[in-house]
């Protein structure tokens, strides 16, 4: 299957949703998204980490240092209550956009 590029604006939603399950470090987060989408989406480090830093500045996630599965220092990200609120907003917006796009795609 050909690799899909993330639509602009969807990375925050995917990260927030993935972190809503449990805190994790950036590499694990990218791997989880890749796994769940069955290799269709591959968040690149050059895109993922700046997005995490933006979300942290906005108060949607917090981070703290910890040890990864292979005993390396890693920054773990956790969703905040503001992040949960943003996830609800983005989920609703995505549903609305998906319906609108489906209507156009179904026209002859």
Q: What is the pLDDT of residue 68?
A: 85
Please check whether residue 38 lies inside any domain of the structure. yes
Which tokens sit at 41? 């989406």
Q: What is the pLDDT of residue 70?
A: 87
**Who has greater pLDDT, 8 or 63?**
63
Query: Are the CB atoms for 89 and 69 separated by under 8 Å?
Result: no
pLDDT tens for residues 87-107? 999 999 999 999 999 999 998
Residue range of the domain that includes 17: 10-105
Domain CATH code at residue 60 = 1.10.10.10
Q: What is the pLDDT of residue 3?
A: 47
Query: Are the CB atoms for 103 and 39 separated by under 8 Å?
Result: no
Tell me what the mean pLDDT of segment 43-47 comes to: 89
Please check whether residue 72 lies inside any domain of the structure. yes
pTM: 0.86
Three-class secondary structure of residue 65 per DSSP: strand
């Amino acid at each position: 299957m050909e690799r899909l590029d993330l639509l602009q604006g969807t990375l925050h939603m995917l990260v927030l949703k993935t972190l809503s399950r449990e805190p994790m470090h950036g590499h694990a987060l990218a791997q989880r998204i890749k796994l769940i989408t069955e290799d269709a989406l591959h968040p690149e480090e050059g895109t993922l980490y700046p997005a995490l830093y933006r979300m942290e500045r906005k108060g949607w996630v917090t981070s703290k240092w910890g040890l990864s599965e292979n005993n390396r220092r890693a920054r773990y990200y956790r969703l905040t209550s503001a992040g949960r609120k943003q996830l609800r907003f983005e989920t609703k917006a995505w549903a609305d956009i998906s319906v609108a796009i489906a209507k156009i795609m179904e026209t002859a």
